[in-house]
């Protein structure tokens, strides 16, 4: 990696960044009520449609590769094949790719000679409805954070992490597609980096329906100490309990499912309980849930591995785990893609709490999604590290 790359990126003037934002929107060439289609009727497509409708904007249809959806409606909007969309709307209609793993779709549409645009371009066109969405936000917001971004590069323990960090800074500034990520099979449990512990005490913050717990058990079998799963969404924790019922009593007796959200202090907060992976602490949420710091939840336990995928609440949860991170030094697997600034803010926060950690950055999806920071204490480190940036 060329160290000057980050300097070149951060040297760009604010007016130049804003001009590129305008150029991306101008390239979309979308008139006030101009037609466009959303490619992808899944989670991102449905969210995009719902948010656009709050401002009176209505796409002219979904397009999807799933043949079972063709001719049906999703959230009141038709789902078409690519061929049908071309026949009905012509070849010049913009296709907005509303798929998180979008590289294959972009190649498909590009091969057909169609006008395909990534989701962030539409988000810049309708910022009041679509921004911020996870790490997708206005690039101009990064102009005042160059010192922290530059400091963030110095934190990583290997060249792969440094390359990924620079690629992600570039993506957040330009929305150019990032290089391919790592195999999703390694998400949260990278054997290349971390030496397993036979008595692992695994803490799953944002346990959802138990998907990460199942993956942990698939890898470790009955060779673990305890699992503490935190999940405040009632529907999700019911599914978590149902999933655990299939395991033998020798496993179930060592799993504690707790209906609480990890935060910086004890109290209650509003929560948007969607019954999906997108459930999150939000001020307009329809449910009130208990919030507690991990320092309290884990008192009397010695956690050795903590995973956090909690839709943007990771900084608050880390602040509430200061004692645990300093005294127990668990391996950390912390998502970095829920806010634009999480890429540098969260690693800097971890290093400030405990400078003994070695930090690694890996991504398991396209562009900026499914990006995880691993903080590994020296006794659990499998790989040699290099401090040269």
Residue in 344, 376, 346, 335 with CA at minimum distance from that of residue 358: 376
Q: Are residues 67 and 207 in the same domain?
A: no
| Strands of 287-292's sheet in order across | 261-262, 287-292, 267-272, 280-281
Q: Are residues 264 and 358 in the same domain?
A: yes
Q: What ranges in 245-341 are assigned the alpha helix state H? A: 249-252, 294-297, 314-319, 322-327
Q: How far is Cα 331 from Cα 167, in angstroms, rounded to an integer?
A: 25
Q: Are residues 89 and 231 in the same domain?
A: no
Buried b (16+ CB within 10 A) or exposed e, 371-386: bbbbbbbeebbebebe
Decide if 202 is inside a domain: yes
Residue 257 has a CB neighbour count (10 Å cut-off) of: 19
Q: What is the pLDDT of residue 336?
A: 98
User: Residue 132: CB partners within 8 Å, gap ≥ 6?
Assistant: 339, 340
Q: Are strands 331-335 and 371-376 parallel, antiparallel or unpaired?
A: antiparallel
**Structural domain ending residue among the three candidates 70, 97, 131:** 131
Indicate the average pLDDT of the chain: 93
Q: Are residues 304 and 176 in the same domain?
A: yes
Partner residues linked to 331 by β-bridges: 305
Decide if 140 is inside a domain: no
Stated as kind and residue range, the H or E segment containing 346 is helix 342-353
**Structural domain ending residue among the three candidates 105, 131, 157:** 131
Q: How far is Cα 125 from Cα 129, in angstroms, rounded to an integer?
A: 9
Q: How far is Cα 5 from Cα 238, in angstroms, rounded to an integer?
A: 48
Report the domain count for the chain.
Answer: 2
The parent domain of residue 211 ranges over: 149-380
**Structural domain ending residue among the three candidates 70, 105, 131:** 131
Length, in residues, of the chain: 389
Q: What is the pLDDT of residue 389?
A: 43
Q: Are residues 154 and 103 in the same domain?
A: no
Task: Specify the CATH number for the domain of residue 94.
Answer: 3.40.50.720
Q: Are residues 337 and 203 in the same domain?
A: yes
Q: What is the pLDDT of residue 32?
A: 65
Task: Specify the CATH number for the domain of residue 319.
Answer: 3.40.50.150
Q: How far is Cα 94 from Cα 37, in angstroms, rounded to an integer?
A: 6
Decide if 90 is inside a domain: yes
Q: Are residues 198 and 341 in the same domain?
A: yes
Decide if 104 is inside a domain: yes
Decide if 369 is inside a domain: yes
The whole-angstrom distance between residue 53's C-alpha and the CA centroid of its chain comes to 24
Phi, psi of 343 (to 5 degrees): -55, -40
Q: Are residues 331 and 269 in the same domain?
A: yes
Q: Are residues 119 and 264 in the same domain?
A: no
pTM reported for the whole predicted model: 0.94
The whole-angstrom distance between residue 249's C-alpha and the CA centroid of its chain comes to 33
Question: Euclidean distance between the first and final Cα of the chain, in Å?
Answer: 8
Decide if 7 is inside a domain: no
Q: Are residues 111 and 216 in the same domain?
A: no
Q: Are residues 242 and 120 in the same domain?
A: no
Decide if 137 is inside a domain: no
Q: Is the Cβ–Cβ distance between 243 and 213 less than 8 Å?
A: yes
Q: What is the pLDDT of residue 273?
A: 65
Query: Which residues of the chain, if any, have pLDDT below 50?
Result: 388-389
Decide if 269 is inside a domain: yes
Q: Are residues 262 and 186 in the same domain?
A: yes
């Amino acid at each position: 990696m060329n160290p000057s790359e980050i300097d070149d990126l951060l040297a760009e003037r604010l007016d130049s960044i804003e001009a590129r934002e305008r150029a991306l929107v101008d390239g979309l060439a979308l008139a006030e009520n101009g037609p466009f289609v959303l490619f992808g009727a899944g989670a991102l497509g449905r969210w995009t449609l719902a948010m656009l409708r709050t401002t009176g904007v209505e796409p002219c249809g979904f397009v999807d590769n799933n043949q079972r959806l063709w001719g049906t409606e999703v959230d009141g909007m038709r789902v078409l094949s690519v061929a049908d969309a071309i026949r009905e709307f012509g070849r010049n209609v913009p296709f907005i790719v509303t798929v998180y793993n979008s590289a294959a779709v972009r190649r498909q549409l590009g091969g057909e000679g169609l006008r395909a645009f990534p989701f962030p371009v539409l988000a810049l066109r309708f910022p009041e409805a679509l921004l911020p969405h996870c790490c997708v936000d206005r690039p101009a917001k990064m102009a005042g954070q160059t010192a922290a971004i530059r400091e963030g590069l110095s934190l990583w323990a290997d060249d792969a992490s440094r390359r990924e960090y620079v690629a992600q800074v570039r993506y957040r500034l330009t929305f150019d597609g990032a290089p391919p990520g790592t195999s999703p099979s390694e998400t949260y449990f990278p054997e290349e980096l971390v030496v397993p512990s036979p008595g692992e005490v695994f803490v799953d913050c944002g346990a959802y329906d138990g998907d990460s717990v199942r993956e942990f058990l698939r890898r470790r079998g009955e060779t673990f100490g305890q699992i503490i799963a935190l999940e405040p969404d009632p529907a999700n924790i019911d599914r978590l309990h149902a999933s655990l019922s299939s395991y033998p009593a020798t496993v179930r007796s060592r799993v504690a499912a707790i209906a609480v959200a990890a935060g910086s202090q004890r109290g209650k907060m509003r929560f948007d309980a969607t019954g999906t992976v997108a459930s999150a602490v939000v001020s307009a949420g329809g449910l009130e849930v208990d919030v507690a710091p991990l320092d309290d939840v884990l008192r009397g336990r010695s956690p050795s591995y903590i995973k956090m995928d909690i839709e943007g609440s990771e900084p608050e949860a880390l602040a509430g785990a200061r004692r645990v991170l300093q005294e127990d030094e668990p391996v950390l697997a912390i998502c970095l893609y829920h806010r634009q600034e999480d890429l540098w803010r969260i690693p800097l926060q971890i290093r400030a709490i405990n400078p003994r950690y070695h930090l690694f950055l890996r991504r398991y999806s396209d562009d900026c999604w499914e990006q995880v920071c691993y903080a590994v204490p020296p006794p659990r480190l499998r790989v040699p590290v290099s401090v040269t940036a």
